[in-house]
Amino acid sequence: MKLVTYRHDGKERTGVLTADETAVRPLPYADMNTLIETAPFAELLSAAHAAEGASVPLSQVSLCAPIPRPRQDVICLGINYKAHADESTRYDASAFGGERPVPIYFSKRVSEAVAPEGFIESHPGLVQRLDYEAELAVIIGRTARNVKAADVQDHLFGYTVLNDISARLLQTTHKQWYFGKGLDGFTPMGPCIVTADEVAFPPALAISSRVNGELRQNSTTDLLITGIADIVEELSSGMTLLPGTIIATGTPAGVGMGFDPPKFLSPGDVVECTIEGIGTLRNTVR
C-alpha cells in the first residue's frame, strides 16, 4: 500500500493510493500517527477495500508530507554511505574527516514537514551554502525496545523519501548539526509511505536526486554503511522507539558540497529526490 496524507475540502485526511496512483481512497484515521499506532495491516487493507468507489482524483487534492507533524524529532544517520564520506572529507576535512568506527546519530527538528511540491526555505541572512540530501527514511510501526537485528523487520511500518536539507555553514560552524539541519522548511518528505510488506528487506532501491533536472545523486540503498537492522538494534538497546518514529538513513554521494566548486542551492531551484518504488519528492527553494 502507498499511504498518503492529503488536503481535500479544506480538511487534512489520510488515504491510500489506488493501484494506478491517479486517485486516493480516504481512510478512517484522524492522522498518519494515529493510523500507524492503531491499524494492523489487515484492518488497513479492509478499510482501503471498503472505501472503494469513494476515491478522489489526485488532481483534486493536495498532498501533504505523509507525517506532516512528527511527534518527535527525526533521527538521522550522518555519513552513512562511503562515497558521501569521501566527498564530505574533501569539502571540509576538519568537520567531516577522521575515523568513524561507530555510526553518527543526530536529530532533526521538524515542527512541520514540507509537503511534496512545497517550498524549501532558504532563510536569507541566516543561511549560506544551502544543500540537499536525498535519503531513504524508515518509519517504525511497533514499539521497539531491545530489538535484535533479526527481528527489526517485524517492527517497521514503511518507507518514505526525505530530503535532509542542510545549511552547511551553520552545520560546520556550530559543530553540532542540530541547528544547521533543523530549521523551518528543511524537511521535505513524501510523496507517500510505502508499507514495509511491499519492500524486500533490507531495501535495495535506486536512490537519486536532481537539481533543475541535472542528475546529482545516483546510488542504491543497499550501500548503507550501517544498515536498518543494525541501526534499530543499536538505538533500541537503550532508547525506546515509538510507532511513528522516523529514521533518515543517510545520503549518498553527489550533494552540493561534494562538487568542486560546490553546487549549493539558490531560490528558484527545483530539487527532486527519487527512490525506486516510493516515488519522487519535488520541492522548490524560496
C-alpha distances (whole Å) from 225 to each of 103, 164, 192, 249, 257 are 8, 18, 25, 10, 20
Segment contacting Mg ion (CB under 5 A): 52-60, 155-163, 206-214, 245-253? 245-253
Q: How far is the CB of 133 from Mg ion (least distance, A)?
A: 4
Q: If we measure between CA atoms, which residue out of 194, 88, 213 comes closest to residue 141? A: 194
- Of the pair 121, 133, the CB lying nearest Mg ion is at 133
**Nearest CA among 235, 256, 286 for reference residue 134:** 256
Least distance CB 55 / Mg ion (angstroms): 35
Q: Give alpha helix (H) positions in the chain.
A: 32-38, 41-50, 82-91, 93-96, 168-173, 178-181, 228-236
Does 133 contact Mg ion by CB under 5 A? Answer: yes
Count, residues near Mg ion per rule CB under 5 A? 3
119 C-beta neighbours (distance < 10 Å), count: 14
80 is a contact residue toward Mg ion (CB under 5 A): no
Q: Per-residue x/- mask for Mg ion, residues 251 to 280, rule CB under 5 A?
A: x-----------------------------
164 binds Mg ion (CB under 5 A): yes
Evaluated on CA atoms 233, 235, 240, 243, the torsion sign reads: negative
Please report how close the Cβ of residue 260 comes to Mg ion at its closest, in angstroms.
20
Our CB check for Mg ion shows the closer of 157 and 186 to be 186
Q: Considering the complex, state which of residue 16 and residue 135 has its C-beta at the smaller distance from Mg ion.
A: 135
The residue ranges that bind Mg ion (CB under 5 A) are 133, 164, 251
